[in-house]
Amino acid sequence: MASLSRQLAQWIVGLRYEDLPPEVIDRAKGVTLQALASVLIGSQTAPGKQAVKMMAEEEAGVRNGATIMVNGTKVTKGGAAFANSEMAFAGGKWDTFRMLTHPGTAIVPGAFVAAEATGASGKAFLTGLVAGYEVMERMAADFIPTTMARGFHAGPVFGIFGAAVAAAKISGLTEDQVNSTIALCASLAAGNLEGARSGGRALREGAAVRNAMLAVALAQQGQIGGETVLEGDAGFYHAYVGNNKGELTYSFVGATRASLDKITAELGKEWMFLETLYRIYSTAGYNIAHVDVTAKLCEENDIRYENVERVEAVVNWLETQYPSPAFPSRREDGPAKAGSTAYHTAYGVVQRGFPLLRGVGADPSGPDVPPEVLQLMKRVTIIPSHTMTLFGPRITIHTKDGKSYTKQGTGREFIWDFNEEARRIRGVTPGLPISASQFESIIASCRELERKDRADTLIQLTLAEKS
């Protein structure tokens, strides 16, 4: 049997736009819009500005590079990928796959670099983007908690593969070159948890996508990556999961074993990409459902804050020990704190929503936070469970008249089509560095991306309008 990377390479090279189901194309447009909105927001943050400044000072003036979004400076392909990813990450409007990976912060910047370099059409861009998402998510799916338990951050460790695959597909690499790209990513993958746990800022998807561009360039130049680099005895899964037999130390669903063969099973028939959801609020992903499920429960039963005695939320146990039970830096099942899961549950009761423009770095107890939120969060109890689905809390509100009301999340509340994505992401418009009409042009271009002769026209639409 062909190696895992060879099977993936064969599928990637053979994938055509015409092979993509309508719902897959729709999701690809949606994650593109989400990432671009996050880049626009992130361009105004300190981390985003730092990344742009560093790349512009280090690399400006190259002839055959790529464009830093919003800023417009042309730098190396790796430099543009890094800066654009860092802005997307800083913006906080990510997509999320199985809680701990955020594919779009790596894959979308990598895909745009390749599209700009090759003049790729919208259809070619969408096809490459889908390939990147599908490969990354299949590689990561069952192994995310175990990878995190070894001190690696699954986001960048798996994100490099998605970004590289998207860029390789858009760039028209051959099967052998794609196989080598994947293999080279195994040597370039990285991401550690300790820095963020000890007062630092994690080096995440920005570094992953920059290394992805290196892997693609090396493969294009003919460097051979190897055949069994993923599943081999000394390969990627042995290094990052601890074994190449599918043995797991942690699992979202309580499983102790996964099959590496599952990574390539039913490729192109079953689309894991469709599990990707939108982290519309700039908070830890496991908090987002607490806002909307609680808000909906209050709306359906006309529950007012002043009538609430207490709230209970039963959640997947891994959501209470971030980033991993092996190295928890954030516990959500203890006393409530501003910014915690209990806080976001309280926001759902008090405001029946959460401010879309409240950034990751905003003071969670600042003057703009309703005092009722800070009061109610102390009466919210988070209950860990080994049987609950991810992002699907069961919320029970006990009212002062002795009644109780319960709503169970599905885990799919933040999976929606492009029209809903456009409707919801428009809420960030007042906080963008471009005009409302220009952002509407981005939405329209994403909606009609398959009709575009060049996908990189979207990059130009992120640039500030000249007065």
Instruction: Please state the domain extents for the chain.
Output: 4-278, 285-408
Q: Read off the amino acid at residue 63.
A: R
d(CA 188, CA 110): 15
d(CA 178, CA 183): 9
Measured in whole angstroms, the distance separating CA 210 from the mean position of its chain's CA atoms is 17
pLDDT at 1: 86
d(CA 48, CA 42): 5
Contact 34, 94 (CB under 8 A): yes
Cα separation of 363 and 411, whole Å? 28
161-196 pLDDT, tens digit each: 999 999 999 999 999 999 999 999 999 999 999 999
Q: What confidence tens digit (pLDDT) does each residue in 47-88 have?
A: 999 999 999 999 988 988 999 999 999 999 999 999 999 999
| Class of the domain covering 4-278 | mainly alpha
pLDDT band for position 464 (cuts 50, 70, 90) = confident
Cα separations in angstroms, 198 against 157, 193, 322, 334, 363:
20, 9, 14, 21, 20
Q: Are 3 and 230 in contact (CB under 8 A)?
A: yes
Mean pLDDT of 88-116: 97
Q: Answer whether residue 369 shows pLDDT above 80.
A: yes
pLDDT (average), residues 365-375: 96
- For residue 317, the tally of other CB atoms under 10 A from its CB is 18
CATH topology of domain 285-408: 60s Ribosomal Protein L30; Chain: A; (3.30.1330)
Task: Specify the 3-state DSSP secondary structure of 94.
Answer: coil
pLDDT of 362 higher than 60: yes
Q: What average pLDDT does the chain have? A: 96
Is residue 466 over pLDDT 70? no
